[in-house]
Amino acid sequence: MRGRASTPGRGRGKVRGPGPGIISERRRRLHGAKPRTRAGSNLARVLTADYAKAVRERADFDEVTALLREFRGIFKGFNRQPVAYMPIKAYAEIGQKLDFSLNAATYRNGPALRGFYAGRQTGLKRPLIYINTAHHPVVVGSSFIHELSHHLSATVLGASTRHAHFLFDADYPRQLTVSGELLADLMVSVAGYPRGLARQIFAADWGHLEIRDAADLQGPALAEVKRHLARAYAFRLAFDHENTEQYFEYLVGIIHYARLRQALLSEYDL
């Protein structure tokens, strides 16, 4: 979706920075993982995890509101309307304004890499955001928001950048346990579900989510999420017999961010 969704301010910039070779060590560590087992396990975990507790215990209210203020300065209407996915050039313009390099390129090897953020403390002269453009544009956009959150956490909140922050589809449940990753994912959830819309979709208690309903985004709550993604982003998740792993990784991500948005609304009313 383009039109009504939030867009960044005008500026100049270009895609730049080193290639994704920085991921080689992490790729070797994850090489050999069993994707089908991982996808099924992660679906069960995001359905049963206590998202409200994770937000309450690991997402500091002041840090969340500080990041929301920063994002409002970048995306007009942030938390009032969905943030659109945009051309890569627009993301590069944000990098030019905020003093980080952007590398956006296709990377298909290893597990489902979505992107990473590497700050100056990793030895780079300029912070770097890498985004894997092999994914759907909506996923590319959410990955950029996630990595941008890490950059803002470093520059505004003083978060450490001694290590690169990697984003993999397989990591959703783990990210509930790491404060910095949780903050970044919360910004993604706000980008997709602004406060007014979140109140409509997530006001009621979802109760127990069954895997059989979640697998096809059925049931009242998940069906409304599905309709929102279609309306706002023309994103319709369809089962693909040739790529079942990708389907389930995207499915887990949809449920993860929806449950995060519900938890942020219920815990902090943001």
Establish if 15 belongs to a structural domain: no
- End-to-end CA separation in angstroms for the chain: 24
**Alpha-carbon gap, residue 112 to 92, rounded angstroms:** 23
Tell me the pLDDT band of 164, cut-offs 50, 70 and 90. Answer: confident
Establish if 79 belongs to a structural domain: yes
Query: What pLDDT shows up at residue 249?
Result: 85
Establish if 9 belongs to a structural domain: no
The answer to whether residue 217 scores a pLDDT higher than 90 is no
Q: Say how many C-beta atoms besides its own lie within 10 A of residue 14's C-beta.
A: 12
Tell me the pLDDT band of 32, cut-offs 50, 70 and 90. Answer: very low
Establish if 112 belongs to a structural domain: yes
Q: What is the mean pLDDT of the chain?
A: 81
Q: What is the DSSP letter of 121?
A: G
What's the whole-number mean pLDDT along residues 132-147?
93
Contact 164, 118 (CB under 8 A): yes
Largest pairwise CA distance in the chain: 49
Range with the largest mean pLDDT of 12-16, 26-30, 72-76, 239-243: 72-76
Tell me the pLDDT band of 215, cut-offs 50, 70 and 90. Answer: low
Structural domain count, the chain: 1
Query: What pLDDT shows up at residue 25?
Result: 40
- pLDDT greater at residue 248 or residue 141: 141
What's the whole-number mean pLDDT along residues 56-77?
97
Backbone phi and psi for residue 39, each to the nearest 5 degrees, phi listed first: -65, -45
Backbone phi and psi for residue 259, each to the nearest 5 degrees, phi listed first: -70, -35
Query: What pLDDT shows up at residue 17?
Result: 38
Given the DSSP bridges, would you call strands 128-132 and 101-105 parallel, antiparallel or unpaired? parallel
Query: What pLDDT shows up at residue 205?
Result: 61
The answer to whether residue 216 scores a pLDDT higher than 70 is no
Given the DSSP bridges, would you call strands 165-168 and 101-105 parallel, antiparallel or unpaired? unpaired
**195's tokens:** 């406060």
Whole-prediction pTM: 0.83
**102's tokens:** 């952007």
Establish if 69 belongs to a structural domain: yes
Establish if 138 belongs to a structural domain: yes
Establish if 82 belongs to a structural domain: yes
- pLDDT greater at residue 35 or residue 181: 181
Query: What pLDDT shows up at residue 212?
Result: 57
Contact 263, 51 (CB under 8 A): yes
Range of the domain at 204: 20-268
Query: What pLDDT shows up at residue 247?
Result: 81
Establish if 11 belongs to a structural domain: no
